Amino acid sequence: MGATAGMGSFAPISFWMDTNATNDRVAPTLAGSYEVDVAIVGAGYTGLSTALALRADGLSVALVERDVAGAGASGRNCGQVGADIGKSLQALRMQLGRERAREATAVLRAAISHLEEAIHTHGIDCSYQQTGNIFAGVHPRQTRFIERTARIAEELRLPVTVLSRNELRARGIPEAVVCGYQEHLGGALHPGRYARGLRRAALAAGALLFERSPVLSIEDGDPLILRTPHGRLRCGRCVLATNAYTPNLGWMRRMILPVAVSALVTEPLNDTQRARLGWEGREPIYTAHHVLENLRWTDDGRILVGTKRVRTGFGRAFAPADDPKTFRALERVLRTRFPELHDVPVVRRWTGPVALTPDFLPVFGRTGRARNVFYGGGYGGHGISMASYAGRIIADLIAGRDLGPARVLVDRHLPPLPPEPLRWLVGNTIISTLQRLDDRLDHAAQRERVR
Ligand SMILES: Cc1cc2nc3c(=O)[nH]c(=O)nc-3n(C[C@H](O)[C@H](O)[C@H](O)COP(=O)(O)OP(=O)(O)OC[C@H]3O[C@@H](n4cnc5c(N)ncnc54)[C@H](O)[C@@H]3O)c2cc1C
């Protein structure tokens, strides 16, 4: 038996893209020469939302995608739309101070509303459930941290309700959650169907889309020239919507650290298993670990478990996608958080890249010799809403409009990431230390439950 036996089959993109049955045809590859106002590299949520926003401004745009729209993190994530911005709220307030932290959370609120509006306006059928999320502790010693975080959330105008253990039980939240709060913003969606919906909306708005067209180089200057294996695109401005893939394009190497994140799903629960589990409200859960756990129902009645372990590759290489240790850790999470589901098989597992920045906050801005290369990314594992709103921010930047609170995330001066091999060494030391602390907490939680 292989090291991942019993953990279902590995999906080259993800469970969401496999089950994303669609009649949409793959768009043509870029062949020959084209000219547009703005070229957008990458058709994930950032690229698609940018295409929509720029079309609304009347600009001609072309999306150039290496694979198919949603093939990156946008079609691989856990689908939890949360009021999270990549770091703890304590750390956010400490770094930015109260007023600027409030601006950052105002952007987050705007991003979630924008996503909900986009789903509504474009009629996107992505099973979005506006349940909010549960921020969860698995050991009683996390109670004070959760209460403190809830106070800061209120101060930063993120509405939350602290829930006692009894209140959690009364809501049917699994017993492994011993303390927590309810975030009232966001919920859960089907990431693949959401990406396809945005793709359709961008096409309907008149954006050109080229799929299976990797951008090999961007010739800096004014105009910019993008080259793919069979074509070239001339444009006055370009948007890097490539998030974790951006350093491999030769841009933002000192600002973006790609890390691999994985997830798995069970087969759909039967009636008995559902009854055993409870959790009728189906609020998605993310835990208060250093490296969080995503726990949620899918719209077709499966349980999804994600994150828990993150990995960096060396240099330009991504960390291996089908990593047995990572999937064993995820399966352990499934069995310890939901002991009622000991007999439910895992059927699918997958991995995708997220982008971290040196301070774990998203980055937006412009670069290039003529300052005509725009970018948005670095959302960590919390990018569904931010990437969906990225288009609004980038369109405002391009048009020279007032950015409002989003200015706090724009043209930031960050300490550069160190070069290799230091980057790999530092990255891995930090990650393994945090994961060891999480493991210690989990052991203590297990002992507490047995008692
Ligand atoms: C396993 C996992 C779980 C996650 N869970 C959550 C979650 O629950 N909640 C949440 O908010 N966020 C989550 N995230 C993060 C979220 O998915 C991302 O922040 C978001 O999707 C980023 O969107 P994007 O469009 O910027 O990047 P991507 O979706 O990665 O898009 C970049 C695109 O660029 C394309 N590309 C790359 N190089 C080239 C090139 N040379 N030429 C042309 N195209 C190129 C790629 O193919 C890709 O389609 C998760 C991510 C992962 C991987």
pLDDT by residue (tens digit) across 97-107? 999 999 999 99
Alpha carbon distance 34, 215 (integer Å): 14
Q: What is the CATH number of the domain that holds 140?
A: 3.30.9.10
> What integer pLDDT is reported at residue 1 of this predicted model?
44
Task: Judge whether residue 214 has pLDDT over 90.
Answer: yes
Q: Which residue has the higher pLDDT, 230 or 5?
A: 230
Ligand 1 centroid–CA 46 distance in Å is 8
Residues with CB under 6 A from ligand 1: 41-47, 64-67, 71-74, 76-80, 214-215, 241-245, 249, 261-263, 294, 306, 352-354, 377, 379, 381-384, 387
Residue type, 22: T
The angle, 0 to 180 degrees and rounded to 10, between the axes of the packed helices 143-155 and 89-121 is: 60
Alpha carbon distance 170, 160 (integer Å): 18
For residue 88, being part of any structural domain is answered with no
> What integer pLDDT is reported at residue 3 of this predicted model?
63
Q: Are residues 200 and 242 in the same domain?
A: yes
Task: Judge whether residue 24 has pLDDT over 90.
Answer: no
Q: Which residue has the tokens 């005509």?
A: 372
For residue 6, being part of any structural domain is answered with no
Task: Judge whether residue 384 has pLDDT over 50.
Answer: yes
DSSP 50-93: HHHHHHHTT--EEEE-SSSTT-SGGGTS--EE-S--SS-HHHHH
Span 174-199, average pLDDT:
97
Alpha carbon distance 212, 323 (integer Å): 26
What does pTM read for this prediction? 0.97
For residue 86, being part of any structural domain is answered with no
> What integer pLDDT is reported at residue 448 of this predicted model?
87
Q: Are residues 18 and 71 in the same domain?
A: yes
Task: Judge whether residue 226 has pLDDT over 90.
Answer: yes
Residue type, 302: R
Q: Are residues 262 and 326 in the same domain?
A: yes
Q: Whose CA is nearest to atom 32 of ligand 1?
A: 242
Q: Which helix (H) or strand (E) holds 98?
A: helix 89-121
Q: Are 118 and 201 in contact (CB under 8 A)?
A: yes
Which ligand 1 atom sits nearest the alpha carbon of residue 355? Answer: 19
For residue 246, being part of any structural domain is answered with yes
Q: Are 409 and 274 in contact (CB under 8 A)?
A: no
3 state DSSP class of 139: coil
Q: Are residues 324 and 282 in the same domain?
A: yes
Q: Are residues 170 and 293 in the same domain?
A: yes
Domain that holds residue 295: 134-187+257-358+424-450
Q: Are residues 397 and 293 in the same domain?
A: no
Span 418-445, average pLDDT:
95
Q: Whose CA is nearest to atom 10 of ligand 1?
A: 382
For residue 95, being part of any structural domain is answered with no
Number of domains in the chain: 2
For residue 396, being part of any structural domain is answered with yes
Ligand 1 centroid–CA 225 distance in Å is 24
Q: Are residues 164 and 178 in the same domain?
A: yes
Q: Are residues 271 and 407 in the same domain?
A: no
Task: Judge whether residue 451 has pLDDT over 80.
Answer: no
Ligand 1 centroid–CA 74 distance in Å is 4
For residue 107, being part of any structural domain is answered with no
User: To test the ligand 1 pocket, which listed residue (16, 26, 78, 251) has its Cβ within 8 A of the most ligand atoms?
Assistant: 78
Q: Are residues 316 and 213 in the same domain?
A: no
What tens digit of pLDDT does each residue of 289-318 get? 999 999 999 999 999 999 999 999 999 999
What tens digit of pLDDT does each residue of 237-286 get? 999 999 999 999 999 999 999 999 999 999 999 999 999 999 999 999 99
> What integer pLDDT is reported at residue 127 of this predicted model?
98
> What integer pLDDT is reported at residue 18 of this predicted model?
87
What tens digit of pLDDT does each residue of 320-377 get? 999 999 999 999 999 999 999 999 999 999 999 999 999 999 999 999 999 999 999 9
Span 217-235, average pLDDT:
98
Ligand 1 centroid–CA 307 distance in Å is 14
Q: Are residues 374 and 354 in the same domain?
A: no
Instruction: Calculate the average pLDDT of the chain.
Output: 95
Q: Whose CA is nearest to atom 48 of ligand 1?
A: 72
Q: What is the CATH number of the domain that holds 50?
A: 3.50.50.60
Q: Are residues 218 and 71 in the same domain?
A: yes
For residue 105, being part of any structural domain is answered with no
What tens digit of pLDDT does each residue of 37-75 get? 999 999 999 999 999 999 999 999 999 999 999 999 999
Ligand 1 centroid–CA 203 distance in Å is 20
**Given its phi and psi angles, is residue 183 left (phi above 0), alpha (psi -120 to 50 degrees) or beta?**
beta
Q: How confident is the model at residue 196 (pLDDT cuts 50, 70, 90)?
A: very high
Q: Are residues 29 and 151 in the same domain?
A: no
CA count, 13 A, side-chain hemisphere, 46: 34
> What integer pLDDT is reported at residue 21 of this predicted model?
65
Ligand 1 centroid–CA 202 distance in Å is 17
Ligand 1 centroid–CA 86 distance in Å is 15
Task: Judge whether residue 25 has pLDDT over 90.
Answer: no
Which ligand 1 atom sits nearest the alpha carbon of residue 351? Answer: 1
